[in-house]
A and B are shown apart, each in its own frame.
Chain A
Amino acid sequence: MSERLRRPRRACVLLVALALGLLAPGCAGGDSSGEESHGGAADLPGPVPAEVAFRAPPDDATPAPDFSANLVDGTPVTASELWDDRPVVLMFTASWCERCADVHRRVAEVVGEREGVALLGIVPADDAQGAREYAEELGLGYPIAVGDERVWLSFAVREPPTVVLVAPEGKVLRGWPGGVETPVLAERLDELFQKR
């Protein structure tokens, strides 16, 4: 039985504030660690490697609704720039969703094994603070954006976890409400690679 009380969270905030207060005098105004936050700009993918080529999406695939959002560190990101020349896996998730982290981890493993594929986590707009903690805890090395309601509605996402596969050029290939089995996602992604 899990007990959810607000007090521990407040206590945690107080402890963090206290710790920051104690550390602040020693920082002397400098950038303390230089560490980038997880899920932010540092986790955006680089260019698609030259040796990787993807197939064109099927003509009858549904165009993916483009959207812009900020990553957890405030960096703006535009979805169509990500999926212009590569497959993108959208992982609709939330910090309060207990099984989302596990799904997110498994999706990240599959994506990580396939060069050139991007993964973008999307949390609800009212979960921005939780999203930063979620990104830190997961530390996946992939960006996480805070998506407003329009983003969720445009992909018909009713509940996290939901995984959506977008082909290069921005065509929706498949959505998996509730998550996706690793081999299934792997197979769908492998179909997108141009054989050489």
Chain B
Amino acid sequence: MTRARPAAASLAGAALLGLAGCGGGGEDAVEARLRLVVPDNNIRVEGVECAGARPFDYLRPGASFTLEAPDGTVLADGELPAGRAENADPSIDWNVERIPTVCVMELELDLPERRSYRLRLPEGRPLAFDRSDLAGDEPLMLLVQ
């Protein structure tokens, strides 16, 4: 799992540390736990570390992502962690060690309160979700398209 940093910190780095608490903050943070599901259907042993297989090979550990507000303002950014292979179809008992899997990457982010968000990956369409989607106990699943 990876935790992203707020965008401002990434831009200004240590220079901003001395200003912490000075700048009209006070925005409530929203904890977002996301499961980024890469539907690559690659044959793997369940549970092994993975990256997106072709054609999703741009989703790999270290690949950049940003979390944006609907108006395009970058709220946070970070790098993807390694994923874990999960059964692509849990309704099937494959009876073999290597099975069709998806690669699931877990993200944990602290976001400023907004009505909705967009997760932008290095390629493909941004993945949109609402603040209300984060209310449940389980991480929010986002299917890469």
A in complex with B: yes
A94–B60 contact, CB under 8 A? yes
B120 located at the interface, meaning its Cβ lies under 8 Å from any Cβ of chain A in the complex: no
Please, how many angstroms separate the alpha-carbon atoms of A124 and B52 in the complex? 14
A97–B54 contact, CB under 8 A? no
Main secondary structure of the interface of A (DSSP, over half): loop
B79–A1 contact, CB under 8 A? no
With A94-B60, A98-B61: A4-B78 Cβ-Cβ less than 8 Å: yes
B78–A96 contact, CB under 8 A? no
Residues on A with C-beta less than 8 A from B111 are none
Residues on A with C-beta less than 8 A from B31 are none
Which stretch from B18-26, B38-46, B88-96, B123-131 is at the chain A interface? B38-46
Instruction: Return the contact of B3 from the options A3, A98, A124, A177 (Cβ within 8 A).
Output: A3
Instruction: Return the contact of B81 from the options A4, A124, A153, A160 (Cβ within 8 A).
Output: A4
B67 located at the interface, meaning its Cβ lies under 8 Å from any Cβ of chain A in the complex: no
A99 located at the interface, meaning its Cβ lies under 8 Å from any Cβ of chain B in the complex: yes
Q: In the assembled complex, how far is the CB of residue A183 from the closest CB belonging to chain B, in whole angstroms?
A: 16
Q: In the assembled complex, how far is the CB of residue A43 from the closest CB belonging to chain B, in whole angstroms?
A: 26
A177–B82 contact, CB under 8 A? no
Please, how many angstroms separate the alpha-carbon atoms of A134 and B53 in the complex? 21
Residues on B with C-beta less than 8 A from A98 are 49, 61, 82
Residues on B with C-beta less than 8 A from A96 are 51, 60-62
Closest to B98 in A: A178
Please, how many angstroms separate the alpha-carbon atoms of A166 and B40 in the complex? 27
How many residues of chain B have a CB within 8 Å of chain A? 30
B42–A97 contact, CB under 8 A? no
Please, how many angstroms separate the alpha-carbon atoms of A99 and B61 in the complex? 12
- Mark B26-67 against chain A: 1 for CB-CB distance below 8 A, else 0: 000000000000001011110011111110010011101000
Residues on A with C-beta less than 8 A from B2 are 1-4
Please, how many angstroms separate the alpha-carbon atoms of A177 and B51 in the complex? 13
B116 located at the interface, meaning its Cβ lies under 8 Å from any Cβ of chain A in the complex: no
Please, how many angstroms separate the alpha-carbon atoms of A99 and B47 in the complex? 13
B1 located at the interface, meaning its Cβ lies under 8 Å from any Cβ of chain A in the complex: yes
Residues on A with C-beta less than 8 A from B60 are 94, 96-97
Name 11 interchain pairs, CB-CB below 8 A, sorted by A: A1-B3, A2-B81, A3-B2, A3-B3, A4-B2, A7-B10, A153-B54, A158-B40, A158-B53, A177-B42, A178-B98
B interface residues (Cβ-Cβ under 8 A, vs A): 1-3, 5, 10, 13, 40, 42-45, 48-54, 57, 60-62, 64, 78-82, 98, 108
Known: A2-B1, A94-B60, A158-B40. 16 other contacts (CB 8 A): A3-B3, A4-B62, A4-B78, A5-B79, A6-B64, A94-B51, A96-B61, A97-B60, A99-B48, A152-B54, A153-B54, A158-B42, A159-B42, A159-B54, A159-B57, A178-B98
Nearest 9 CB-CB pairings of A with B: A4-B79, A158-B53, A159-B53, A158-B54, A96-B61, A96-B62, A1-B1, A99-B49, A96-B60
